[in-house]
């Protein structure tokens, strides 16, 4: 009997050792401690980090000077917009592309579309998208991946270009004077919190309701959401008067418009068929078309669809558009190696490796694969600098963080940074080569909505 108990104890002891074999034991801890030498240079860095930010100490002293701001090719634009404390970069960027065209086409001194007008309908449509998604998945368990994804993020003010095209096609557009910004449109956090809380509450109601009641319940819910949006953002105009002045401040006309008639007269583009989204995602096969399931702003609108291309093909399209004075929707991982004061994105801005005496060798594919990088912010691509040998050296985007941010409201990026952290571009079809357009004939590869590479741009 004693032998049996002894064997059981040995087995239990072996099991504990096996379970703990992946932990940090005393011997490993001692090896770790003695492995750190704590040289004078390391102590100096430790002392500096105790009172100073990493980004300040990692600043590359050899790269402090402002880069050359000359660009060989630049789109003509006027004015810088400001999204304030909101996640609407995608909307500001899309409207800035159209604004530049409108100013040039109609010889306006200045102009800005109402972002608040489209924000209102964006949030209403996203509410419907969520509620209908709950209805469509009501027979799935709460821990189903799609249901869980819906409930984790019922609504937000981030997005991407298909939101611009679907919303304008459905609701038109208005000048900023017809529906100006409010405190809540500029500061969206609290409004998003209230909307998310209501939508989650509604989700539970819809999941337990009878099938015959669902659409009636959804209409009632959306009516309450509409009321919240009116209180926060104002009432979207269905008709308004607008006076057009030319570049010399001379009155050209005063007319009454609807949002759709205004858009048709002053822009008139078919946004849903005239633009192509291009992406540089080295984790997926190039030359293929991809569709993101459930990634849209309008339930009856378009899923996000893109062609994946090598970076040199992306540049080819961007250069063709800029040379023809046409700005583009552009998105990237803006937080990486950013000198905000100068408004310059350059991998030479920060030297983390010297500061921590380490290496950071991952390439773009590896960073995306391990969630170390991804597209986070949309801006308007307006300039490229090409040297005498035909090589691109730098690019410039118009940002939506106000005129005092960065370089006169713009951001300059080196070509090397562009290669590593640029992800998306939306260009007119006429600038996309025929062989690339032919790729759209493919059946798209469907990717899940929760793929982190396709988080909304803010």
Residues 6+ apart with CB under 8 A from 406: 340, 342, 343, 344, 399, 412
- Residue 89 annotated among the catalytic residues of the structure: yes
Catalytic residue, candidates 116, 297, 349, 377: 377
Distance of CA 92 to the CA centre of its chain: 11
The encoded tokens of residue 317 equal 């399209």
Angle at 366 between CA 362 and CA 371, to 5 degrees: 110
Q: What is the DSSP letter of 442?
A: S
Q: DSSP string covering 45-66, please?
A: HHHHHTTS-HHHHTB-GGG-SP
Element (H, E) at 398: strand 392-398
Catalytic residue, candidates 67, 89, 232, 332: 89
The encoded tokens of residue 270 equal 């078919």
The encoded tokens of residue 156 equal 């937000």
Closest CA to 263 of 102, 120, 61: 102
CA atoms within 13 A on the CB side of 284: 19
CA atoms within 13 A on the CB side of 38: 4
- Residue 280 annotated among the catalytic residues of the structure: no
Catalytic residue, candidates 128, 280, 349, 399: 399
* 168: phi then psi, degrees, rounded to nearest 5: -65, -40
* 449: phi then psi, degrees, rounded to nearest 5: -60, -25
Q: DSSP string covering 321-380, please?
A: HHHTT--EEEEE-TTTTEETTTTEE-TTSB-HHHHHT------HHHHHHTTS----EEEE
- Residue 67 annotated among the catalytic residues of the structure: no
The encoded tokens of residue 254 equal 């005063």
Helix axes 145-152, 189-208, angle to 10 degrees: 140
Element (H, E) at 174: none
> What span, in angstroms and rounded, lies between the C-alpha atoms of 263 and 245?
17
> What span, in angstroms and rounded, lies between the C-alpha atoms of 285 and 363?
16
Closest CA to 426 of 323, 321, 345: 321
Three-state secondary structure string covering 185-208: HHECHHHHHHHHHHHHHHHHHHHH
Helix axes 145-152, 115-136, angle to 10 degrees: 150
Active-site positions? 89, 377, 399
């Amino acid at each position: 009997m004693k032998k049996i108990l002894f064997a059981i104890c040995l087995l239990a002891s072996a099991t504990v050792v096996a379970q703990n074999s992946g932990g940090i034991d005393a011997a490993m801890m001692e090896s770790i401690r003695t492995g750190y030498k704590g040289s004078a240079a390391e102590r100096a860095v430790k002392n500096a980090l105790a009172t100073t930010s990493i980004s300040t100490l990692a600043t590359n002293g050899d790269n402090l000077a402002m880069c050359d701001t000359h660009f060989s090719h630049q789109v003509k634009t006027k004015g810088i917009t400001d999204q304030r404390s909101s996640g609407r970069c995608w909307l500001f960027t899309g409207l800035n592309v159209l604004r530049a065209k409108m100013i040039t086409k109609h010889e306006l001194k200045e102009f800005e579309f109402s972002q608040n007008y489209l924000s209102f309908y964006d949030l209403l449509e996203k509410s419907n998208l969520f509620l209908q998604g709950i209805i469509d998945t009501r027979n799935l368990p709460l821990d189903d991946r799609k249901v869980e994804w819906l409930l984790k993020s019922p609504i937000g003010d981030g997005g991407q270009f298909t939101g611009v095209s679907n919303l304008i096609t459905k609701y038109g557009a208005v000048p900023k004077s017809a529906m100006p910004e409010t405190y809540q449109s500029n500061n969206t956090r609290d409004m998003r919190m209230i909307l998310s809380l209501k939508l989650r509450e509604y989700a539970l109601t819809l999941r337990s309701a009878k099938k015959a009641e669902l659409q009636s319940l959804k209409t009632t819910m959306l009516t309450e959401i509409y009321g919240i949006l009116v209180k926060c953002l104002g009432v979207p105009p269905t008709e308004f008067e607008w006076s057009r002045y030319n570049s010399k401040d001379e009155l050209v006309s005063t007319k009454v418009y609807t949002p759709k008639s205004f858009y048709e007269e002053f822009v008139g583009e078919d946004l849903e068929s005239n633009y192509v989204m291009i992406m540089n995602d080295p984790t997926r096969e190039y030359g293929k078309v991809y569709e993101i399931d459930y990634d849209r702003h309008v339930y009856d609108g378009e899923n996000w669809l893109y062609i994946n291309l090598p970076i040199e093909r992306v540049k080819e399209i961007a250069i063709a558009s800029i040379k023809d004075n046409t700005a583009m929707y552009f998105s990237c991982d803006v937080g990486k190696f950013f000198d905000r004061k100068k408004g310059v994105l350059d991998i030479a801005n920060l030297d983390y490796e010297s500061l921590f005496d380490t290496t950071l060798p991952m390439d773009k594919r590896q960073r995306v694969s391990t969630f170390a990088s991804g597209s986070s912010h949309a801006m308007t691509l307006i300039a490229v600098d090409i040297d005498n040998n035909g090589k691109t050296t730098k690019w410039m985007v118009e940002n939506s963080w106000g005129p005092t941010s960065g370089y006169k409201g713009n951001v300059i990026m080196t070509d090397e940074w562009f290669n590593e952290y640029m992800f998306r571009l939306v260009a007119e079809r006429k600038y996309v080569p025929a062989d690339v357009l032919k790729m759209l004939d493919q059946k798209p590869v469907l990717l899940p909505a929760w793929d982190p590479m396709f988080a909304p741009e803010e």
